[in-house]
Structures are given as C-alpha cells and as structure tokens.
Structure 1
Amino acid sequence: MNFSKLTKLIVLVACTVGLLVPSLVSAQDKEKKRIEESGVVLSDFGKMKESIPSSLLKVTEGIIIVPKLLNAGFVVGGKRGRGIAMVKREDGSWSNPIFVTITGGSFGLQIGVQSVELVLVFKHSSSITNIKKSSFTLGGDLSIAAGPVGRNSTANTDYKLDAEVYSYSRSKGIFAGVSVNGASLDIDTAANLRYYGKGMGPTEIFASQGDPDDAVTKIKSYLVPLK
C-alpha cells in the first residue's frame, strides 16, 4: 500500500471514529439521564409526608425506579416504561444499577393517557437478581401489593407476611383502572451495554465496585436511609 492510499485510509478511519464517538456518548447520556430522573423520583418521594414507612424500608433489599411509566388505552390498554434496578449488598451498600423495562396490557374500564412515576420496593434482593433468568410477571411470579404509606406507620401492612413487592406511584394526566399487576419485568440488555460499554450481566454489574459517574453516586446517597 503506497503512502497516498495509507493516508486516505487513516483519514477514513478517523472520520468514522469521529462519527461514532458522538453517537456513543449520546447513547450513554440517555442512560445517564434515566439514572438522574430516577434519582429525582426518589428525592421527591423522600419529601412526601405520606411516604414509604421506615418499618418497610428496614427490610428492603431491592428497588426498581421507573421515572415514566406510560399508560394508554380505551377499554384495552397497555403500559410501557424504562427504569433501573438496584440491590442491597450483604455489607448494606447499594449496587450499581442495571437497566430494566416494564411492559404490560390490561382490559376493563379504562380510558385516557397517564404518566406514572413508579417505585417498586422488594423485600428480597433475589427477586431482582433472578430476573436475569427470564422475564418476571408482577402479581404472577412475584406477589405485589399497593404499598402502605406514612413514614412511621406500621398499621394495616402485611410486609412481614405476604407480598414480596410493594408499589408506590405518583400520577400525572388522566386515567382510570391503573394497575401494574400482570406487567412483566425484563433486563434492558441493550441499555446496559450502551452504559457500561461491555457485555456485563446483572450479576457482574451488581458486584462491580466504584460508581460509573456522579449520577450513580447521587442516587446511592438517596438510598442511604434504606440501610
């Protein structure tokens, strides 16, 4: 290969890399934004007077935050959202997040569109780590109940007995007959690859040390009271 052809090849490779790098950064920014939005949801929930009871938080080993769960329907409806999942490690620290999706359908009296901020509180971290094996159905594979409210409330809860998952949500828009029962949880493999830059599975991500960026550091700080 002569010098002229080699120069052209180098220029072509440089241009290709130059085009790819911004797109990769853009993709990573989307996932970082999802983490940041999840942090905002947790922060806002923490400011609510009628929040998650401390008695439930003490036994929490996992959490899923979906900043925007969209519901739409006219008799037959559907829901779709992207969020993050984190588990509490044995030493009480919180893992790095994995990206997940929640998808479902419904039938019944419903009409309209709604955007919901959703937080799912898990009593056992294994319920989240086992999602890697297949999609999980809320209300099917995992028992789910509307979460009790009130920071210091312990009355009228069954968190010591029955449900594995408790849901908390704030709604925007107009909708009737909303439920996450029957919705499936899946690993967002593509998002994990874009954000972490390599094909790590949920187990590897949960075990990884160090915060990928300040958005992860911040969301972990919101979870400190859950220790």
Structure 2
Amino acid sequence: MRQIGKRIGVFILAALVLGFAGHAMALDKFEAELKVKEAAILVEKFMTSPDSGAPHWMLKRAKAVILIPNMVKAGFVVGGKYGHGVVCVRKADGSWSEPSFMVIAGANVGFQIGAESMDLFMFVMRERGLEGVLKNQVKFGVDASVAAGPVGRTAEASLSAASLSADVYSYSRAQGAFAGATVGAAGLEVDEDTNKSYYGKDATSKEILQGGKVVAPEAARHLMEVLARYSK
C-alpha cells in the first residue's frame, strides 16, 4: 500500500511540475536582468569555493554551461524542483555566447521536508549534451546523460577526457556548502518569452547561442566576461 501511495505521489507531482513548467510565467526585462546578474555571481561563488579544482578543470573544457540560481527544492515524501536560469555556449574562438533563458523542472523520490533553495551549475562536456542544449527541450537521462560532478582535493588530478563518462556534470551550492549534485528526472526547456523580454526581439535559443542574432545587454556581457576569465 505504501509503494502504491508513493507511486501515485510521484505521478501527481510529475504532472504538476511539468504542467507548471509548460505554463511558467516568463520573467519581465527587469527580472531577467536580475537573473543574469545572479548567474554571474553564481560563477564567481563556485569558482572561488574551496576544493573547486574539478569545476575549474571542467569550465576550461566545457562546450556549454547551465546556470540555475536559486533553484527551489520542496516537498514531503516526494520532492520536486523548479527554477529559471540561463545557458551559455563556448564559441569556436573560446569566448562565450550570449545567455539564453531556460527553465528546469523535475521530480524525484525522497524524504524531503520543507523547502530549500540552491544554486545549480552544470557543465556540458560532450557533443551529445550540446546538441540537447541547442534543442528546445532536453530530458536528462534521455537526451543527455548527467552525473554529479566530482569534488575533493584529488578530483582534478584524476580528471581526463577518458575519465568522463557523462554528457553533463552538475554541482550544487546551498547554505554555503559546495557539492556534486544529482538532478534526477529533470528536464530543461527554452524560455522563449523571457528571451524576447530580455533581448527585445524574437530569437530562437539556437540563434542566440550561435551568435549574431541579438545584442548582449550590459549584464549579459559581464556574465560572458566572467566565464571567459575563469575558463582561461
């Protein structure tokens, strides 16, 4: 009976989360600007965290990054997560693209009581992961494999191209604690309405990320510069 109740709970939460994501309220221009500024702060915090050697290594080699400031995790018995964020892609010359807005949502089973906010930093390391990001929608575990990023003083020394088994690696930061993060049954979807609010014109996520379609506002340029500084 308990298992049946849990399965029903998972189904209901998944339906609610996915429905919420599909009808998520777009950010207005001010909120979008604030989200980009938060993303830049997120990069600074992660890159200056103790034992951040592995994230530094990954950022220097990543094909794209996904930045979700203040992602909400909440629930009782069955947990869920939801958040607005941005994705930036590394260009051929090593610089970073303008940010495209994304929404992440998902459901996971676990005994989580109350609500928690955390920052999520994801490194797209393989071409398959990049192809997923360039689409309008990505289901982690289906379109791209995802794993918790390694941490610790010896993690960087053990990393190499051959040691990477996942398309995407994720890290979380909550209440000052830095760790590898599992995202479970999560999905990432392009936030087209927020892109339009922020850039003042219609542009697909692929057009934004591949360059030439939009002009980066000041906060976006700052985020691109921060990524460039730490990925040198």
Fold similarity call, TM over 0.5: yes
Corresponding residue number in structure 1 for 2:149: 147
**Secondary structure of the equivalent of 2:113?**
strand
TM-score under structure 2 normalisation?
0.76
Deviation of 1:76 (Å): 1.4
Deviation of 1:49 (Å): 1.9
TM-score under structure 1 normalisation?
0.78
Deviation track 1:36-70 (CA, whole Å, cap 9, x = no partner) reads: 01011111112112115243233211001001110
Q: Say if 1:68 and 1:115, in contact at 8 Å, map to a contact too.
A: yes
> Which runs of at least 4 in structure 1 moved beyond 3 Å after TM superposition?
128-134, 150-153, 155-161
Corresponding residue number in structure 1 for 2:226: 222
Q: Say if 1:38 and 1:83, in contact at 8 Å, map to a contact too.
A: yes
Corresponding residue number in structure 1 for 2:33: 32
Runs of at least 5 residues in structure 2 that lack an aligned partner in the other structure? 1-26
For residues 83-94 of structure 1, the aligned pairs below 5 Å read 83-94=85-96
Cα 1:32–1:52 change in 2 (3 A) is farther
Distance 1:112 1:157 in 2: 36
Q: Say if 1:56 and 1:159, in contact at 8 Å, map to a contact too.
A: no
For residues 44-123 of structure 1, the aligned pairs below 5 Å read 44-53=45-54, 54-123=56-125
Tell me the number of residue pairs that the alignment of Structure 1 and Structure 2 aligns: 198
Q: Percent identity?
A: 34
Q: Say if 1:62 and 1:88, in contact at 8 Å, map to a contact too.
A: yes
Distance 2:154 2:220 in 1: 28
Letter in 1 for 2:43: L
Deviation track 1:117-154 (CA, whole Å, cap 9, x = no partner) reads: 11001113662453454421223322111112357743
Please give the root-mean-square deviation of Cα atoms over the aligned residues, in Å: 2.5
Runs of at least 5 residues in structure 1 that lack an aligned partner in the other structure? 1-25
Deviation track 1:74-106 (CA, whole Å, cap 9, x = no partner) reads: 001211000000000111111001000000012
Q: Say if 1:88 and 1:125, in contact at 8 Å, map to a contact too.
A: no
Mean alpha-carbon deviation: is it higher for 94-103 or for 159-168? 159-168
Kindly name which structure, 1 or 2, has the bigger radius of gyration based on alpha carbons. Answer: 1
Distance 1:111 1:148 in 2: 26
Cα 1:40–1:119 change in 2 (3 A) is same
Distance 1:64 1:223 in 2: 12
Distance 1:205 1:151 in 2: 36
Q: Say if 1:77 and 1:107, in contact at 8 Å, map to a contact too.
A: yes
Cα 1:204–1:82 change in 2 (3 A) is same
Cα 1:134–1:108 change in 2 (3 A) is same
Q: Say if 1:37 and 1:67, in contact at 8 Å, map to a contact too.
A: yes
Q: Say if 1:85 and 1:128, in contact at 8 Å, map to a contact too.
A: no
Deviation of 1:30 (Å): 1.1
Letter in 2 for 1:120: M
